[in-house]
Structure 1
Amino acid sequence: MRRREVPPMPALGAGELRQNAVRRREHTVVVTALSVSAVVVVLLTVGFWAFFVHTFSDPGSPALVGIRIDGDAVTVKSGQCPQDRVRRVEVWDGGRERLVWRGDRPLAEEGRRGLLSLWDGKAYRASSPAGPPSELPATLDVTVDHDPAYGVSEVFDIAEVRRAVVPPGSYWTHEGVRTAEQIDGILDCGNSSSP
């Protein structure tokens, strides 16, 4: 078989060279735009996913924290959804930002459900220091961490709490005296149910 010779291509003119350069630029712009769009779509998808995971894992409204003082006994009630459990409670001297006491993993079910006796080391897997402070600070900053990974915090003026008339089974809050059920009822827990 005999090879047929292909005649050489004629040289491109300036107009044709310009057109080819424009087409290459257009192609580059289209590919870049598609790549950037794909990255933006991925970032938006990840952002929406993170937003919805956060929204559905945290209560829809801020939790309320109550406190009662009976002599040397200090009890805190932290509002929480039925499926949540207390992981840790920390008590800080609100005026000096110094840790006064900490209790990890309450042992009793009522503690895990947010009814927390402060200074009672036997009620927790671990606590430090072992007992109550010699004198309560003027303000207590109480932080309660819950599973799954959210927490509530409140600063209490001890003189104001001591002046309040708090009936048995109730707690002083910044919104007035409330029962444990009222404190838990403030949260918007969606359709959660007890475990």
Structure 2
Amino acid sequence: MIARTCRVAAILAAMSWSAAGCALFPSDPAGPVFGARVEHGVILVKIPTCPGLLQTRLNVLDSDTGSETPIWWASNPDSEAARRGEVELFTGKGFRHSMPAPTTVPHNIDVSYVDSKGDGWGAVFNVKEISEQKLSAGQYWTEDGPKTADQIDVLAQCRAQESAS
């Protein structure tokens, strides 16, 4: 499976993760669907977005090593695309602050974000697998196959998240 999603609440940041690398809770049977594609050598991701919530920080981890230290991060989106969750990894485009790009990209990357409420989600992508997908314009590869940005946002279940607040 190319993507694994798990809820990352701020209060869990200090706790150690299970051997699987994520925790699922009964109220959160599965996280929202993330998407990714590669265009002209650039990894593009679609992070599910809900109205009124802003992704304040995006982290990319080396899922091959399991290191908790980001290989790249970006914060404070300042473009419409980044606010919609449409992000070019490792470029910093659309963000006020970002880390320099790594010299090499691991085979498997863990992409996660923290939103304006302090909650976050993440997904792991196999870079080779997403590179090999034949996608139509505007589509992203997800664990459920090709989806557009709008389809990914619909799957975010924003109403359920807003009512739980």
> Which of 1 and 2 has greater Rg?
1
1:98-117 equivalences under 5 Å are 98-117=69-88
Corresponding pairs, count: 133
Partners of 1:106 and 1:179 in 2: CA distance: 21
Partner in structure 2 of residue 178 of structure 1: 147
Answer 1 or 2: higher relative contact order, Cα 8 Å, separation at least 6. 2
The runs of 5 or more residues in structure 1 that have no matched partner are 1-57
Q: Percent identity?
A: 30
Structure 1 position 137 matched with structure 2 position 109: no
SS of residue matched to 1:190:
helix
TM-score between both structures, scaled by the size of structure 1: 0.62
Q: Which AA in structure 2 matches 1:74?
A: I
What letter matches 1:127 in structure 2? Answer: S
- 1:160 equivalent to 2:129? Answer yes
Q: What SS does the corresponding residue of 2:128 show, helix, strand or coil?
A: helix
Work out the CA distance in 2 between the residues paired with 1:190 and 1:124: 27
How far apart are residue 109 of structure 1 and its match?
A: 2.0
For the 8 Å contact 1:69–1:162, the answer to whether it is kept is yes
Unaligned segments of structure 2, at least 5 residues = 1-26
Kindly report structure 1 stretches of 4+ aligned residues shifted beyond 3 Å: 58-61
Query: Normalising to structure 2: TM-score of the pair?
Result: 0.72
Cα contact 1:87–1:144 (8 A) shared by 2? yes
- 1:55-66, aligned counterparts within 5 Å? 62-66=31-35
Q: Distance in 1 between matches of 2:94 and 2:46?
A: 15
Contact 2:57 2:76 (C-alpha < 8 Å) held by counterparts: yes
C-alpha distance in 2, partners of 1:61/1:140? 19
Question: Post-superposition shift, 1:172?
Answer: 0.7
Q: Any residues of structure 2 matched to 1:81-100 within 5 Å, and which?
A: 81-96=50-65, 97=67, 98-100=69-71
Q: Once the 2 structures are TM-superposed, how far is the Cα of residue 117 of structure 1 from its aligned partner?
A: 1.5
CA-atom RMSD, angstroms?
2.2
